[in-house]
Chains A and B, each alone.
Chain A
Amino acid sequence: MRYLPLTPDDRRAMLAKIGASDVDALFRDVPKPALAPLSVFNLPDTQGEMEVERALSKLAAKNVAAGAAPFFCGAGAYKHHVPSSVDHLIQRSEFLTSYTPYQPEIAQGTLQYLFEFQTQVALLTGMEVANASLYDGSTATAEAVLMAQRITKRGKAILSGGLHPHYAETVETVAGLFGPMTRSPVTPGSAEDIIALIDDETACVVVQSPDVFGLIRNLKPIADAAHAKGALLIAVVTEVVSLGLLEPPGAQGADIVAAEGQSIGNGLNFGGPYVGLFATREKFLRQMPGRLCGETVDAEGRRGYVLTLSTREQHIRREKATSNICTNSGLCTLAFTIHLSLLGEEGLTRLARINHAKASALADKLAALRGVDVVTPAFFNEFTVKLPKPAAPVVEALAAKGVIAGVPASRLLPHDKGVANLLILAATETNTDDDFAALTKALQEIL
């Protein structure tokens, strides 16, 4: 087996040194009936690299990659162009095959990029501090609600109807153990009355902007109302490129920002791995979940970086930790950091403007089709249209014509009859005029 360096002679020599007759003697603590013969495992035997590559490629070929068709899906995951150097750099052995930087003297590479990542996230979100990432945007949102529950010592959370339904379900599953979760009714494309739901028991209000239908929201009035009742505002961002064009949540009164960072540096990967961004105010630092990297000096006075404030974390605090999280999204944070470094101020703001321009052009084209209404008045690179018939079968019919037309709202909100005809579409820098023409033509044929 090509990955196993020990030869039969090596194994014999090692067993002799140990003084064991055979390898099973080393498993002597295993109860005899539990030691399974190989035949128990009804699985294939070892294969060469070429055979494995063939098998996997066959599976991959059964899928329609986003780059292989006119493509308009968003709703929490976005197709962007990632510069070639990003993937090249993250595959360097020293990044790819290292562990959590518990030995800082020989992990300065990882620690320094985490410090850069934390700074970038703080800058983007307009917040004071950020951690070294969580699993993804949805789990970051759940952690944010738990943190707000700890800070306010209250249980109740109000989840905006525009919060991605998968995020809302993730929050309800975890934070729902510690207090009631209230979802405000969803009306795609319009402001919702979240403020009326805030009361003295409320720990936090969770608002996504742009929301799951693409609508840009002004968080400031909601933040003010939450603060007046002693509650926190948690701002959620699923399309982080939007922060290159839109006012950051930190400038709108957010206390915690939970965001999905996939759009920068990371591929679609059928939903994961992604990278959860988590930022907050300095005063809440010690209630933060997840790893933090901090600056310090070594014994010779040279600047260096270490994991810090670990007294919040499970390996020190055990059941009193702020979270059970152990890993972060290491390599995905690196991809994010490198891509954002390549973009810089000019690149990010240009990229954001291109995305908005593309989506605006698409919205204009679709609005011109008979029976199609654009229902999102303010958006970044994603908006919702109302079709004259249910969107889910339309999307399947368009897929059969080779166009991946977006996400039907009914896939995310299957019980809400009011959203059956709604289709959520995203356009990014990757979309061309030919894509737009293919979509409008195919849509016209079906409607």
Chain B
Amino acid sequence: MSMNNQGRPSGAGEAFPASIATISGDRGLDHEEQLIFELGHGATGVDLADVKVSDARLGGMRRKGEVGLPGLSEPEVVRHYVRLSRMNYAIDSGLYPLGSCTMKHNPRLNEKMARLPGFGDLHPLAPQSTTQGALELISQLMNWLTTLTGMPAVAMSPKAGAHGELCGLLAIRAAIAARGENRKRILVPESAHGTNPATAAFAGFTVDEVPAKPNGHVDAEALKAKLGPDVAAIMLTNPNTCGLFEGEIIDIAKAVHDAGAYFYCDGANFNAIAGKVRPGDLGIDAMHINLHKTFSTPHGGGGPGAGPVVLSERLAAYAPIPLLVADGKGLRLIEDMSAAPDGTKPFGRMCAFHGQMGMFVRALTYMLSHGRDGVRQASEDAVLSANYILASLKDVMSAPFGDGPCMHEALFDDSFLEGTGVTTLDFAKAMIDEGYHPMTMYFPLVVHGAMLIEPTESESKASLDRFIHVLHTLATEARAKQTERFAGAPHLAPRRRLDETAAARKPVLRWKPEALKAAAE
């Protein structure tokens, strides 16, 4: 126990020069932490009996060597991961303005509900009579998703946004095949997320890029000119990645349908319009919904996500198994292609079991908490906050597409940094020193040095004002060529800039014992 037994309050003391190295290598609350493999010393963090087993039923396949795992006690493991956690930025600790990622508040009620034993400890293949509550939850969530989107059907199993894109394109592929046609080309605007062209290729299509107009919208005339008998679909993000609503969308959808093609919408930006605009009213045939964006299931350092896909009447029949149906006895999962109800022709299966149930519980909890009025208010607040940032910063930063309004994200380019020697990267890294996670940078590709800011509805006005003040000051300093803050930033994070080139040139992707390392060299 540490005691100040003199009863003397400590004074401010002398400043501790940043250049002085500490003895431990740690600096106050900033701890350095070795790899778990370097900390192991033969202890154990679980108490399990040392049971002997015979080889009789192992088919001669008993492991011959050690796995090579380190041994640590529980307190050591807990401290290790707590220390690691403290090197991370998080929404809970600050504004996280990553455009296109919708880093909104993650309510803890959602976590609690997902951990109810009836959901968290439920086996996917338990008898269906014992899983009726889970099926009812999925059914309720399906109702929310179809009602909010104005679409008749939804495929629940895709495990993330890109997986949802694949599901949508495979449904389109099946629908085209059912018409006896062979359409191979998919039109993708150049402002699209990378997943769109990657998914199209993944599903066996070729990709044809559609240019953007100088105002940030897709060039509808160019798009229409590319339509033809070999075009399977277009993949359009709306609101688009420049933060703009594609106003000609209904017209585009009509042209696409007239050409016999389908309209896939990337729903990554649904948080701008949920409860305000129904994609079904825009002529969309398929759209994935990132439950981890719009409906607040946590991003968890990069997953797990969930990407249900809503489908139009024209595509509903091709939804993959499993299908959820109601019969006299309750709800039932159809897990087999040939048992699909009349009129349906599932294109296949996206994954084992029934989708990201843990995420479904969290998303439905979010929806019930917000209600339709709260979902609508959240979208309005997200759009309002982005516009507030745009309006507050457009005098010092450069907005490529004029004065707005934007949807739920504000896009800037790097023309305000011209001649300063400061790049978008420098600007973003300087934000880290100010205690902020940077915005999305260099995306979308259609503007130079893009900075895409999505504040979401989760920030108070005071928080937005503080953020605006910081960015305004940074931009003003950069333009005045006061560039000390920017050179080599960040200076105050757990790490300075990391050498990504070296990492890629000679990849070290796992820890190896010193002996093995030496042998390899």
Contact = CB atoms under 8 A, between A and B. Distances in A.
A39 to B, nearest CB: 9
Which of A7, A218, A269 has the most chain B CB within a 10 Å cutoff? A269
B159 A273 contact: yes
Interface string B320-361: 110000000000000111110000000111111111111101
A272 B299 contact: no
B91 interface: yes
A11 B385 CA distance: 9
A4 B87 CA distance: 28
A41 B302 contact: no
B470 interface: no
A77 B437 CA distance: 37
Interface in A1-58: 1-7, 10-11, 13-15, 17-20, 23, 25-31, 33-36, 38, 40-47, 49, 51-53, 55-58
Given A119-B511, A298-B499, A83 B121 contact: no
Interface stretch (A194-202, A221-229, A313-321, A436-444): A313-321
Given A59-B133, A271-B357, A331-B301, A66 B123 contact: yes
A6 B121 contact: no
B130 A108 contact: no
A390 interface: no
A421 interface: no
A260 B159 CA distance: 14
B51 A354 contact: yes
A123 interface: yes
B510 A47 contact: no
A318 to B, nearest CB: 4
A94 interface: yes
Given A63-B119, A395-B127, A30 B245 contact: yes
Interface stretch (B5-13, B192-200, B475-483): B192-200
Interface string A345-388: 11111110110110010010000000000000111000000000
Contacts of B197: 314, 318-319
Interface residues of B, number: 206
A285 interface: yes
Contact of B385 (A14, A36, A176, A331): A14
A47 B353 CA distance: 31
A96 B247 CA distance: 36
Given A5-B459, A105-B496, A136 B351 contact: yes
Contact of B374 (A1, A275, A429): A1
A360 B57 contact: yes
A296 B320 CA distance: 42
B61 A216 contact: yes
Given A43-B144, A269-B120, A3 B90 contact: no
Given A65-B117, A76-B352, A332 B122 contact: no
Contacts of B507: 285, 292, 294, 308-309
Interface string B479-494: 0000000001010011
B96 to A, nearest CB: 7
A418 interface: no
A213 B291 CA distance: 34
B131 A404 contact: no
B502 A270 contact: no
B129 A105 contact: no
Contacts of A17: 388, 391-392
A100 interface: yes
Given A34-B277, A350-B51, A63 B133 contact: yes
Contacts of B33: 112
Contacts of B193: 315, 326
Contacts of A215: 59
A304 B503 CA distance: 10
Nearest to B436: A106
Contact of A407 (B125, B202, B390, B405): B125
Interface in B50-81: 50-53, 57-72, 74, 77-78, 80-81
A73 B40 CA distance: 34
B63 A244 contact: yes
Contacts of A96: 90, 92, 106, 111, 298, 300
B112 interface: yes
A18 B404 contact: yes
Interface string A411-433: 11011000000000000010000
Contact of A3 (B131, B137, B300, B369): B369
Contacts of B65: 251
Nearest to B163: A135
A411 B335 contact: yes
A99 interface: yes
B509 interface: yes
B88 A98 contact: yes
Contacts of A18: 384, 387-388, 390-391, 404-405
Contact of B303 (A10, A115, A328, A414): A328
Contact of B111 (A71, A91, A216): A91
Nearest to B296: A3
B92 to A, nearest CB: 3
Contacts of A36: 150, 276-278, 281
B49 A71 contact: no
Contact of A100 (B127, B302, B376): B302
Contacts of B194: 313-318, 321, 326
A270 B134 contact: yes
A299 B368 contact: no
B57 A332 contact: no
B53 A378 contact: no
Given A4-B374, A4-B381, A378 B119 contact: no
Contacts of A31: 247, 249-250, 282
B126 interface: yes
B508 interface: yes
Interface string A295-307: 1111110101110
B520 to A, nearest CB: 10
A446 to B, nearest CB: 14
A62 interface: yes
Contacts of B388: 14, 17-18
Contacts of B508: 294-296
B349 to A, nearest CB: 4
B147 A41 contact: yes
Contacts of A183: none
B46 interface: yes
B187 interface: no
Contact of B495 (A38, A51, A97, A298): A298
A268 B124 contact: yes
Which of B40, B64, B194, B198 has the most chain A CB within a 10 Å cutoff? B198
B244 A29 contact: yes
Interface string A268-283: 1111110100000000
Contacts of A38: 275, 372-373, 376
A46 B374 contact: yes
B259 interface: no
B265 interface: no
Given A59-B136, A296-B503, A135 B88 contact: no
A101 B371 CA distance: 32
B267 interface: no
Which of B85, B282, B359 has the most chain A CB within a 10 Å cutoff? B85
Interface stretch (B97-105, B223-231, B309-317, B416-424): B97-105
A207 to B, nearest CB: 13
Contacts of B109: 49, 52-53
B162 A324 contact: yes
18 contacts: A19-B391, A27-B383, A31-B250, A59-B133, A77-B353, A98-B300, A105-B429, A113-B84, A216-B58, A244-B63, A268-B124, A270-B124, A271-B354, A297-B498, A298-B495, A314-B197, A345-B69, A400-B129
A-B complex: 5 closest residue pairs judged by Cβ atoms: A271-B353, A60-B118, A378-B59, A62-B133, A173-B348
Given A93-B92, A97-B90, A327-B303, 4 more contacts: A3-B107, A115-B511, A124-B67, A327-B160
